[in-house]
Amino acid sequence: MTTTLHRFGAALGRLLHGPDRVEVSVSADGPHGEIGVPRDGDGVWEVVTAGGRPCLAPDDSSHYLYFTLPAEFLARAAEHRGGIWLDVEYLGDRFGLFRVHYASTDPTAPVEGLYKVAEQRWRSEAAGLRRFRRGLFPLPDFDPGRTQNLGASFRVEFRQEVLVSRVTATLAPPADAGAFALVAPLPELRKLPGRFYPINYLFIEITNACNFKCTWCPDEVMGRRRGFMKKEKVFRLLDEIAGKKGWLGPIYPVKL
């Protein structure tokens, strides 16, 4: 009787106040579910078949998968005030080789908490065997009132591999949360052939800036002193480039 009343109360609460659980899964024609996956800017995704199933992955020019939560769930999270949990299903042979950034209330995290890195919990069973696995990401200080780029509440960042087949967000931890006893190390970035990285954008900006400045020089000056610049001018150029780094986002790896 107690269990029945609890289920009835939970169902009534969802009806009146909104869902406690939302999800997105991937099919051959793209993502489906309550969680949105915008496809724009630095979050352009593609559907790839891996392990016999369709998965979402960033395209070669992107580094993120952005996820938007429905307003009803955000309202429930604001009422709950206990954070949320993400359950990410992915293809891999160990912990997920990606990072999750979420909108948080932590002012010390990147961009005043907007891109805080989440802890990843995983199970080590059959480590080394490539298969679909689950990673659990607790977001204890999730801020339902803030959004990232593209209106997202969180994003998956490419580090070495991103092949995601399902993402579930809940107010309470999953029933088997205790089985995810290991905390994964933060995956580092591995450069892969064919992918475009933020450092490439920096070199393009340096080249463009230098070429533009050099067009101001007369031909005779360019002929005598091509390739040489006073250090003060170099510093001014670097300051100018540093002023443009904001559009690269928090992944920007160079300290200027």
The sign one gets for the Cα dihedral 187, 33, 104, 47 is positive
Of 158, 63, 143, the C-alpha closest to 105 is 143
Q: For the whole prediction, is pTM greater than 0.95? A: no
Spatial neighbors of 56 by CB under 8 A, at least 6 apart, are 26, 31, 37, 45, 46, 47, 48, 65, 162, 163, 164, 165
The SS3 of residue 62 is coil
Of 14, 69, 256, 38, the C-alpha closest to 150 is 38
Backbone phi and psi for residue 132, each to the nearest 5 degrees, phi listed first:
-80, 130
Residue 114: other Cβ atoms inside 10 A: 18
- In sequence order, what are the beta bridge partners of 135? 88
pLDDT number for residue 108: 94
Would you call 253 exposed, middle or buried from its count of C-beta atoms within 10 A (0-12, 13-18, 19+)? exposed
Q: What is the pLDDT along the chain (256 residues), one digit of tens a residue?
A: 544 544 554 544 444 447 899 999 999 999 999 999 999 999 999 999 999 999 999 998 888 999 999 999 999 999 988 899 999 999 999 999 999 999 999 999 999 999 999 999 999 888 889 999 999 999 999 999 999 999 999 999 998 899 999 999 999 999 999 999 999 999 887 665 555 555 555 555 565 555 555 554 555 544 444 455 566 776 777 777 666 555 555 544 444 4
